[in-house]
Amino acid sequence: MASKIKIENKTIIGILRLCMPRLQLIKRISRSDLYFLLSLFLGFGSCVIIYILYYYDYKIFGIISSISGIASTFFGICALVYLIRQNEIKKIMGILKFILYLIVVLFLFKFYINQLSRYYNYQSANNSCFHSINIIGNSLLTYLKKSEFTIPPAVNWSDLLLQNNKNITEDIFWGTGNAKSAFAFNANIANMKINKLPDNTVVIFEADGDFNLSGGKELLLDKRAKDKYFLRKKDIFIYIYFVDSTIGRYRIADSAISLYDPDSDKFRSYTTDSPYASPVWTLEVKKKD
């Protein structure tokens, strides 16, 4: 028993001896340097958390990122103030250190604000896309009731939806950059009876182009507005409105689908084990009786 205690004591002493030089190093670091290192750590940490938010959109990550960003700025200012209070800026090294700290603190602050802005722009784009495709889909249902459930022609489908629903405007098709529309119509099913098509047939989907944009799966190759954000290539998705009014997020890289659940007002987890993960695009489909 006594030998076991001695071995444990030796282990603890060994760990302490290993840590002592590092503890002494911390003691030798000035307060301004310590504040600066804290600012650096928290600044980059807040940006990493924002990156995580793109994939795991939990409120707690947003709170932690905000606190880290504010704390980073606070400690950066503290480092600058402490340099001034200690009259360090009267020395050449102190002036150089002050300039370095100031540049880094301003860079971190600007970088954090930019990434936060990009994240909220990304969220806004996602929400707007979902809101728009939902309204466009509802407008299509209104048109179908008047057309005896015949799908509109591809050449002027947007114009027809606007004519049949006075509550919407061209803004609902909002485009990005030079694009006049962010949504396309599946031209392969134009003028068909909607009740003759499988539920997983694509009707409207995200694509950048001119007003009344129509086409097929080839339009998925177009660069999405969301691509310019942090999403990895394998995580890029588009919104699709299906024949049965189901809305899904279709992940292009692996053909996985995340379907919207109106009861919970949330999108379900991505899956490839669903008929909607293999959406029907062309006329070569088996029609319902």
Q: Is the pTM of this model over 0.85?
A: no
Residues 143 and 80 in one domain: no
Residue 189 lies in a domain: yes
Residues 140 and 21 in one domain: no
Residues 11 and 63 in one domain: yes
User: CB–CB of 121/175 below 8 Å?
Assistant: no
Residues 245 and 186 in one domain: yes
Query: What total number of domains does the chain contain?
Result: 2
> Which of the residue ranges 144-158, 198-212, 220-234 would you say has the lowest mean pLDDT?
220-234
pLDDT value at residue 21:
52
Answer with the residue of higher pLDDT: 158 or 84.
Answer: 158
Q: What six digits make up the tokens of 229?
A: 């954000």
Residue 193 lies in a domain: yes
* Residue 91 CA to its chain's centroid (Å): 47
Give 183's contacts (C-beta < 8 A, 6+ positions apart). 132, 133, 136, 173, 204, 205, 206, 207, 213
User: CB–CB of 240/173 below 8 Å?
Assistant: no
Long-range contacts at 275-278 (CB < 8 A, ≥ 24 apart): 275/198, 275/199, 275/200, 276/200, 276/240, 276/242, 276/246, 276/248, 278/200
Residues 139 and 203 in one domain: yes
Indicate the length of the chain as a whole number: 289
pLDDT value at residue 195:
84
pLDDT value at residue 289:
42
Q: What is the pLDDT of residues 176-190, one digit of tens each?
A: 555 677 889 999 999
Residue 183 sits in which domain range?
126-277
pLDDT value at residue 225:
45
Q: What is the pLDDT of residues 209-257, one digit of tens each?
A: 888 899 988 887 655 545 555 556 677 788 999 999 999 999 888 889 9
Residue 115 lies in a domain: no
Residues 169 and 267 in one domain: yes
Residues 138 and 71 in one domain: no
Averaged over 61-67, what is the pLDDT?
Answer: 74
Residue 98 lies in a domain: no
Residue 91 lies in a domain: no
Residue 121 lies in a domain: no
pLDDT value at residue 259:
94
Residues 22 and 136 in one domain: no
Residue 112 lies in a domain: no
Residues 147 and 272 in one domain: yes
Q: What six digits make up the tokens of 69?
A: 């960003």
Residues 158 and 47 in one domain: no
Position 172 pLDDT exceeds 90? no
Residues 273 and 133 in one domain: yes
Domain termination site, one of 86, 110, 134: 86
Average pLDDT over the chain reads 77
Q: Measure the CA–CA gap between 270 and 255, rounded to whole angstroms.
A: 9
pLDDT value at residue 25:
47
Residues 135 and 76 in one domain: no
Q: What is the pLDDT of residues 2-39, one digit of tens each?
A: 444 444 445 544 554 455 454 454 556 677 788 888 88
User: CB–CB of 102/79 below 8 Å?
Assistant: no
